[in-house]
């Protein structure tokens, strides 16, 4: 099958930030599935020309190539609604809305221009049904099994975290340090800096415990009273509810131990305590880290169970099979 993939090649279109999540996660599984993939970097086209020219080029590409399916990952308002409607003459369209629990108005506006769209929210189907949307399907984050690979390496990192440095995450790290727990941190603004997708997987494999720390608002009074920066973050941050993210699927998909903040509905994807571990407060996070560092056999048992569950159910090959089947056959 011919599939068009419309997304950014670079993270937010910035070469210095490396490959985007969308391209690094979606492209190879589609190719490995045997599809002929036509890639279109809409943000690069806009930078080379302008918005109107990009939309015209996309229309021409879809008209000429006639892919059976076109998969989008939007950013802002780069597309003209008319162009999205016009290409439906030649292709079936699907769009990922990975941040729809936070960008609700954005998703609600753009979703109607696609034949089908995906929400990672475990309760999203009900929410969109109440709003009158009939073209929604539940598509959780997943693991690119061709990138997130289990490696036979020495686990020389006790605890690691990969993600952008934010005020709440910084506070968490300070609490862990006070408790005598050292965490290696990677990502934008941390001392170790941003890492490539391949290096990130290597970090997962080298770590006894991989952390997933929320980037939503924290209502912990200790955090809010810790600094003026914390209060500013509370006021400015519009992420008022927790959201399912990609990290648990990636870490479990590489055969490693995941300790994540709890999000409502997580148990729909993993057996909590049996396939990954959770925490609901900084105190519980400290206790969980101490426990699993001491109990290697149990930690490895959980990691292997999470690995098997991911390979069976949560790879992007699984995701794309489901999307394409529903899009083409209903």
Pair 177, 306 in one domain: yes
Under 8 Å between Cβ of 160 and 184? yes
Q: Does residue 147 lie within any of the structural domains?
A: no
Task: Mark whether 96 and 166 lie in a shared domain.
Answer: no
227 pLDDT more than 60 = yes
Average pLDDT of span 188-202: 94
Could you tell me if 49 and 163 lie in one domain?
A: no
In a domain, 273, yes or no: yes
pTM for the model stands at 0.91
Domain co-membership, 71 together with 161: no
3-class secondary-structure state, position 209: strand
Q: Give me the pLDDT at residue 89, please.
A: 96
Question: pLDDT value at position 234?
Answer: 59
Q: What is the mean pLDDT of the chain?
A: 93
Q: Within this chain, do residues 163 and 28 fall inside the same structural domain, yes or no? A: no
Q: Which of 275, 139, 257, 163 is nearest to 204 (CA)?
A: 257
Q: Which of 88-92, 207-211, 231-235 has the lowest mean pLDDT?
A: 231-235
What are phi and psi for residue 125, nearest 5 degrees? -60, -45
Would you state the pLDDT for residue 329? 87
Is residue 78 in some structural domain? yes
pLDDT-derived band at 237 (thresholds 50, 70, 90) equals: low
The answer on 247 and 161 residing in a single domain is yes
Whether 150 maps to a domain, the answer reads no
pLDDT band of 10, cuts 50, 70, 90: very high
CATH of the domain at 213: 3.40.50.2000
**10 assigned to some structural domain:** yes
Q: Looking at 5-9, 80-84, 262-266, 267-271, which range is the least confident one?
A: 262-266
Instruction: Compute the average pLDDT of residues 105-109.
Output: 92
| Residue 325 is assigned to a structural domain of this protein | yes
Is the model's pLDDT at 145 over the cut of 60? Answer: yes
Look at residues 209, 223, 215, 291 and name the one whose alpha carbon lies nearest to residue 257.
209
According to the model, what pLDDT value does residue 42 have? Answer: 97
- Residue 308 shares a structural domain with residue 168: yes
83 and 182 belong to one structural domain: no
CA distance 199 to 246: 16
Indicate if the pLDDT at residue 180 is higher than 90.
yes
Instruction: Indicate whether 161 and 298 sit together in one domain.
Output: yes
**Structural domains of the chain, count:** 2
pLDDT confidence of residue 33? 97
Q: What is the pLDDT of residues 277-330, one digit of tens each?
A: 999 999 999 999 999 999 999 999 999 999 999 999 999 999 999 999 999 987
Pair (70, 164) in one structural domain:
no
pLDDT confidence of residue 291: 98
Query: Residue 206 is part of which domain span?
Result: 157-313
Long-range contacts of 174-180 (CB under 8 A, 24+ apart): 175/282, 175/286, 176/285, 176/286, 176/289, 179/286, 179/290
Query: Does 37 share its domain with 118?
Result: yes
149 assigned to some structural domain: no
Q: Are residues 210 and 238 in the same domain?
A: yes
Report yes or no on 152 lying in a domain: no
Q: What is the pLDDT of residues 15-71, one digit of tens each?
A: 988 899 999 999 999 999 999 999 999 999 999 999 999 999 999 999 999 999 999
């Amino acid at each position: 099958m011919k599939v068009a993939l419309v997304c950014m090649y670079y993270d937010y279109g910035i070469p210095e930030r490396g490959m985007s999540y969308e391209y690094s996660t979606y492209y190879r599984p589609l190719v490995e599935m045997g599809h002929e993939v036509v890639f279109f970097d809409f943000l690069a086209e806009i930078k080379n020309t302008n918005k109107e020219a990009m939309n015209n080029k996309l229309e021409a590409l879809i008209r000429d190539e006639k892919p059976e399916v076109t998969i989008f990952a939007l950013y802002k308002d780069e597309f003209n609604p008319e162009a999205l409607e016009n290409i439906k003459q030649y292709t079936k369209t699907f769009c990922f809305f990975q941040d729809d629990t936070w960008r609700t108005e954005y998703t609600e506006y753009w979703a109607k221009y696609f034949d089908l769209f995906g929400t990672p929210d475990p309760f999203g189907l009900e929410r969109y049904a109440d709003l009158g949307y009939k073209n929604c399907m539940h598509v959780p984050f997943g693991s690119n099994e061709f990138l997130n690979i289990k490696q036979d390496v020495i686990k020389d990192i006790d605890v690691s975290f990969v993600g952008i440095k934010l005020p709440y995450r910084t506070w968490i790290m300070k609490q862990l340090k006070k408790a005598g727990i050292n965490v290696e941190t990677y990502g934008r603004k941390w001392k170790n800096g941003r890492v490539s997708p391949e290096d990130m997987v290597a970090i997962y494999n080298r770590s006894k415990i991989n952390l997933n720390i929320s980037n939503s608002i924290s209502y912990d009074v200790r955090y809010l009273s810790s600094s003026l920066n914390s209060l500013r973050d509370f006021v400015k941050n519009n992420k008022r509810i927790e959201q399912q993210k990609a990290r648990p699927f990636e870490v479990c998909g590489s055969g490693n131990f995941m300790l994540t903040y709890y999000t409502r509905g997580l148990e729909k994807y993993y057996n909590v305590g049996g396939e990954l571990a959770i925490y609901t407060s900084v105190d519980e996070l400290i206790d969980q880290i101490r426990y699993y560092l001491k109990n290697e056999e149990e930690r490895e048992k959980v990691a292997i169970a999470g690995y098997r569950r991911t390979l069976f159910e949560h790879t992007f090959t699984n995701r794309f099979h489901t999307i394409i089947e529903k899009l083409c056959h209903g």
